[in-house]
A and B are shown apart, each in its own frame.
Chain A
Amino acid sequence: MTETPSGPRRRLPPEHVPWYLVAGATVVLLALVVASAGQYASVTQAHANAYFVPTYSFTFQGTDSRGVLLDNGSVRLGLSLAVTNPSPRVLDFQSIIVKAWIGNASPSGGFYLVFLPTFDVNTLPSQPAPVSAWGTGTLGLNFTLSRVSNPTRFETLRAIQAAVANATGTASGIPWNLYVLITLRVEGIPDPIASAGPYELNLNRVILDWGQNLGS
Chain B
Amino acid sequence: MDREREDRLRDVRNTALLSGFLGLALGYVVFYGIYPTLSVPAGPEASIGYALLLLAAAATLAGMASGRLALSIVQDLLGVLLGGVVATVMLMSPALTGVVLVGAVDIPFYMVHYGFPFLLLGFLMNLVFGTVGLGFREYVLLRYRYDLPPSWATNRK
Given contacts A22-B62, A29-B25, contact A43 B38 (CB under 8 A): yes
Knowing A33-B27, A44-B99 touch, does A15 contact B142 (C-beta < 8 A)? yes
B102-157 residues at the A interface, CB under 8 angstroms: 114, 133, 137, 141-142, 144-145, 148-149, 151-152, 154-156
Looking at A30, A32, A37, the one whose CB has the most chain B CB atoms below 10 A away is: A37
Assuming the contacts A29-B28, A33-B28, asked whether A17 and B141 have C-beta atoms less than 8 A apart, the reply is yes
Looking at A120-128, A154-162, A166-174, A186-194, the stretch in contact with chain B turns out to be A186-194
Contact A41 B65 (CB under 8 A): no
Nearest opposing residue in chain A for B142, CB measure? A14
CA A32 – CA B42 in complex, angstroms? 11
Bound complex: CA A1 to CA B44 (Å): 55
What chain A residues lie within 8 Å of B114 (beta carbons)? 197, 199
In Å, the complex CA distance between A193 and B47 comes to: 12
| CB-nearest residue of chain B to A189 | B37
User: Do B99 and A192 have beta carbons less than 8 Å apart?
Assistant: no
Binary flags per residue of A16-44, CB closer than 8 Å to B gives 1, else 0: 01110110011001101101111111111
Take A14-B142, A203-B37 as given contacts and tell me if A33 and B151 are in contact as well, using a CB distance cutoff of 8 Å. no
Main secondary structure of the interface of B (DSSP, over half): helix
A175 within 8 A of B: no
Assess the B37–A37 pair: CB atoms within 8 A. no
Size class of the contact patch on chain A: 35 or more
Does B51 sit within 8 A of A, measured CB to CB? no
Q: Is A204 an interface residue (CB 8 A)?
A: yes
Given that A33-B86, A39-B40, A189-B42 are known contacts, is A48 also in contact with B99, CB under 8 Å in the complex?
Answer: yes
Which residues on B sit within 8 Å (CB–CB) of A47?
101
Interface positions of B from 58 to 92, Cβ below 8 Å from A: 58, 61-62, 64-65, 67, 86, 89-91
Within the complex, the shortest CB–CB distance from B91 to chain A, in Å, comes to 8
Distance of A22 Cα from B67 Cα, bound (Å)? 14
